Amino acid sequence: MSDEAVVTAGIGKHGATRLPSVDVDSYNIELKDENGFLGDRASKGAFHEILDELRKPLRKQGEDPLGDKSSEDMSKKELDQILVGDDIQAAAVLHGAVEDFAKELAYVTQRFMKTKAWDKTEAIVVGGGFRQRRIGELVIARARLLLNSEGIKIDMMPIRFHPDEAALIGCAHLAPSWIFEAHDCILAVDIGGTNIRCGVVETRQKKASDLSKAQVWKSKVWRHADDEPTREGAVKKLAGMLKDFIKEAEDEGLKLTPFIGIACPGTINADGSIEKGAQNLPGNWESSKFNLPASLMEAIPEIGKHDTAVLMHNDGVVQGLSEIPFMQDYKRWGILTIGTGLGNARFTMRNPKK
């Protein structure tokens, strides 16, 4: 890829280590122990496995209070209802799973904090879909208590924005503040192994210049895993969704910034290519011949009669960026995202309050 392609966005590099408000110390670390990747011990699947192990002996006795449905097939909403329901036995089983999973999360967190990149971390935000429900919040709270009891003084809290919207809002923190002048919203994309979500984010900078009041105006999700498109088909579909939003925003009188922010799995190179970690996306996104930002700029060369700029970064990083306005009391902090795997990123504030 040519040097010209590296600066194609015109306002920064893809996957940058220095962003407007933070330095990205690390992201997408893959730690291992004798049993494999550590992140697998604190994933959504790991919680289901723990719950199944607790249910096994009860099933043998014909006394499983959670019934016949497998743990994996139980929705977060169902589990939350059981947790606060009248069936004390069922709630007790869930509490056991919460305790065991919190121990795993605490252990994995300790291992991250022993790495050079995560040294002196003061706080950790936990995101991802698992955080969305009461069970996730209990796991996070319990993991923090376990860490504190081991003498590890660290704050651990759930991400503030809805997990489906955090990465979209985080996209606004990829761009320098001057790009928002005379505009009030941006296009944002959150790419996942199952879904692609995109939308329009209102920056609401007149209410809060630090983007703490930013909100998603509209968003749509496409479950690409169901359609199994080609890589080119996925890009075409995404570009079409963004074009629809451009029209909707214009019809509504919103002033779109000529900028598209993208959160994408994997290690993101400065030229917009993906080095590794995109294996769950449709087609080969790690090919040296594929460049998503360039493809979108070709499909959408202008927004509001201005040249389109695109910046892409790792999805865990971008989700974490949404927390910047609320992390001003910390100098060094990180994010763990609990989903299919365990996403991670560590940040250092460039201008902390303390």
pLDDT digits (tens, 9 = 90+) for 226-248: 998 999 999 999 999 999 999 99
pTM higher than 0.85 for the full model? yes
pLDDT digits (tens, 9 = 90+) for 35-49: 788 888 999 899 999
Domain with CATH 3.30.420.40 in the chain: 3-26+163-326
Beta strands 22-27 and 342-349, pairing class: antiparallel
- pLDDT of 7 above 70: no
d(CA 28, CA 17): 13
| Mean pLDDT confidence for 82-87 | 92
Place of tokens 């893809």: 14
pLDDT digits (tens, 9 = 90+) for 163-183: 899 999 999 999 888 888 889
| Mean pLDDT confidence for 126-152 | 93
The residue among 139, 136, 132 whose CA lies nearest residue 165 is 132
Does domain 3-26+163-326 fall under CATH 3.30.420.40? My reply is yes
Q: What is the DSSP string of 5-47?
A: HHTTTSS--TT-SB-SSEEEEEES---EETTEEGGGGGSHHHH
Q: What percent of the chain has pLDDT over 70?
A: 96
Q: Environment class of residue 206 by beta-carbon count within 10 Å: exposed (0-12), middle (13-18) or buried (19+)?
A: exposed
DSSP state of 188: E
